[in-house]
Structure 1
């Protein structure tokens, strides 16, 4: 009887630990994305958009999407797509590790996080010369989290992870909104094209903040499963 009861329990424990390890895909995706733009920013010789040449490339003035054009395009755009895939796998592990919860809070959270990989894929597949799908991808991956973090916070409260829920609701969400506002307040297309301003810096602060919270969710799921 003891052996028969232990085997299924061990299987469940192993499966739960597997979901926890998969959740770390969020951290892997965030790291890949960040390392990609840091490294490529040092080798980029600029890019051309709308017939205008923007050079040299600067992290201070230019958006990360500029690395998705010119000689660095194949590498940065691949990083966008691969980061999306890793985040998608990580979010799946996150929900399996934290359990079901009630549909009324789980579904909005799952939709919000599920749109992130789609957004990153759109950014990687459509560069700045295709602004419609490109900026739709930016909205899904980095602007929507203002609402997604609220939805995920409510989900985490429902599954008794109140500490992380409060951090998402009262720290991650308002600061994300502030960083977005700062970026849009500093961004001007003409100024950026002239290689001036600080929109590149403010964008990086915003995007890095959002990605860091994606990684936190995956790490929390990993810890919850005993990792």
Structure 2
């Protein structure tokens, strides 16, 4: 009976990693499209226009006429990514060190939580939005490193594990470059390239989730076949 129950639940569980693919795709398409649509926004009674993908960070799209779509994308993408992460590490049960697997999952879950927070609190809620940003991107510096050390010991995941060990310092570099270039006043006046670093950081972080989701889904499907 127990084995029958596990077999019935397996097809559902093997689909969960797809959330780590769909979430990032939806989020990326949203900010890419809205970047051409936004006419600007008002923050602290200061009007920022026009919106520039070069000078303005992605979070600027969570304000003004594009707010509903961008903030909804933050939340939806975060939920899908959370589901995907659960699916990925569920597929790794019993493989490698249990403590490391659980630690990796806990660290990775911080990222989708951060996305949801960014969707709930826009740029005017500076403190909470900053917390969301740090959780969604900054924590991956540690989670990529931890996952890299864990996955490089698992057959079929070794290449990804080595890649994540490179992804960790790369994320750190992009994270630092964003903060070095982000000046709210300069961005509002259309100066600087903070928007470019914001997008490069988002793409670099999310692409690792996509790779993990696809590898997990592919291996689960192959195993079932």
Q: Give me the whole-angstrom Cα distance separating, in 2, the residues matched to 1:61 and 1:84.
A: 25
CA radius of gyration, larger in: 1
Q: CA deviation at 1:158?
A: 4.7
Task: Report the aligned-residue RMSD.
Answer: 2.0
SS at match of 2:23: helix
TM-score, length-normalised on structure 2?
0.91
Counterpart check, 1:54 vs 2:48: yes
Counterpart check, 1:217 vs 2:207: no
Residue correspondence of structure 1 range 131-146 to structure 2 within 5 A = 131-146=126-141
SS at match of 2:39: coil
Q: CA deviation at 1:36?
A: 0.5
Moved more, 55-64 or 95-104: 95-104
The answer for the alignment partner of 2:161 in structure 1 is 165
Q: CA deviation at 1:176?
A: 1.0
Asked if the contact 1:121/1:137 (under 8 Å) is kept, the reply is: yes
Q: Give me the whole-angstrom Cα distance separating, in 2, the residues matched to 1:71 and 1:22.
A: 33
Q: Which runs of 5+ in 2 are unaligned?
A: none
How many pairs are equivalent?
Answer: 220
The answer for the alignment partner of 1:66 in structure 2 is 60
The answer for the alignment partner of 2:82 in structure 1 is 88
Residue correspondence of structure 1 range 175-214 to structure 2 within 5 A = 175-214=170-209
The answer for the alignment partner of 1:119 in structure 2 is 114
Q: CA deviation at 1:178?
A: 1.5
Q: Give me the whole-angstrom Cα distance separating, in 2, the residues matched to 1:159 and 1:95.
A: 13
Q: CA deviation at 1:153?
A: 1.6
SS at match of 1:78: helix
Q: Give me the whole-angstrom Cα distance separating, in 1, the residues matched to 2:218 and 2:149.
A: 19
Asked if the contact 1:16/1:225 (under 8 Å) is kept, the reply is: no
Q: CA deviation at 1:157?
A: 3.4
Q: CA deviation at 1:65?
A: 0.6
Moved over 3 A (4+): 10-18, 157-160
Moved more, 191-200 or 76-85: 191-200
TM-score, length-normalised on structure 1?
0.90
Asked if the contact 1:150/1:168 (under 8 Å) is kept, the reply is: yes
Q: Give me the whole-angstrom Cα distance separating, in 2, the residues matched to 1:150 and 1:99.
A: 20
Q: Which runs of 5+ in 1 are unaligned?
A: none
Q: Give me the whole-angstrom Cα distance separating, in 1, the residues matched to 2:30 and 2:19.
A: 16
Counterpart check, 1:18 vs 2:12: yes
SS at match of 2:207: helix
Could you tell me which of 147, 166, 172 is aligned with 1:152? Answer: 147
Asked if the contact 1:20/1:225 (under 8 Å) is kept, the reply is: yes
Higher relative contact order (CA 8 A, sep 6+): 1
Q: Give me the whole-angstrom Cα distance separating, in 2, the residues matched to 1:166 and 1:174.
A: 12
Q: Give me the whole-angstrom Cα distance separating, in 2, the residues matched to 1:226 and 1:80.
A: 29
Q: Give me the whole-angstrom Cα distance separating, in 2, the residues matched to 1:60 and 1:43.
A: 14
